């Protein structure tokens, strides 16, 4: 198996991954994923596609991720890994689709409108 290149997105985060057969090393922006995503929740999010298809430790993943916050970056990377696994073996698709890892979450932050404090929050009303 040579390198598989896929992309994942979530909010404003964009994750590009290069997956190849290996020992299970996941490198994010040049750092180990446990160092880049310090909380256990984010690490679990990253490993969910592998756990779904029982492929933990079978692939080396090199990740380039930009934009957004750590949660959005972790979910964008999860989507990219799921897409790479489907590209590798089409039989993984139903299981990953059932878990929702192949669906792009299109929710974005609503823009701020003029005459408002935020997107929908109005300024405090003053009777006098």
User: Phi, psi at residue 84, to the nearest 5°?
Assistant: -65, -40
Residue-level pLDDT at 121: 97
**Tokens 């490198």 appear where?**
27
- In angstroms, the CA 103 to CA 97 distance is 7
Domains of the chain listed by start with CATH number = 4-99 (3.30.230.10)
* pTM (whole model) above 0.85: yes
Do residues 86 and 102 touch, judged by C-beta distance below 8 A? yes
pLDDT over 90, % of the chain = 88
**pLDDT tens-digit map of 62-97:** 999 999 999 999 999 999 999 999 999 899 999 999
Residue-level pLDDT at 107: 95
Residue-level pLDDT at 58: 84
On average, the pLDDT of the chain sits at 93
Residue-level pLDDT at 56: 80
| DSSP symbol at 23 | S
Per the model's pLDDT, the better-predicted residue between 2 and 33 turns out to be: 33
């Amino acid at each position: 198996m040579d390198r598989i290149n896929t992309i994942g997105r979530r909010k404003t985060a964009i994750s590009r991954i290069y997956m190849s057969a290996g020992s299970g090393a996941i490198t994010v922006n040049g750092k180990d994923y446990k160092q880049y995503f310090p909380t256990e929740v984010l690490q679990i999010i990253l490993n969910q596609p592998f756990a779904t298809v029982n492929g933990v430790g079978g692939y080396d993943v090199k990740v380039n991720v930009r934009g957004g916050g750590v949660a959005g970056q972790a979910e964008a990377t999860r989507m990219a890994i799921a897409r790479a696994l489907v590209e590798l073996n089409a039989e993984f698709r139903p299981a990953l689709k059932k878990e929702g890892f192949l669906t792009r979450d299109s929710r974005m932050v609503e823009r701020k409108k003029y005459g408002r404090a935020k997107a929908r929050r109005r300024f405090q009303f003053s009777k006098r």
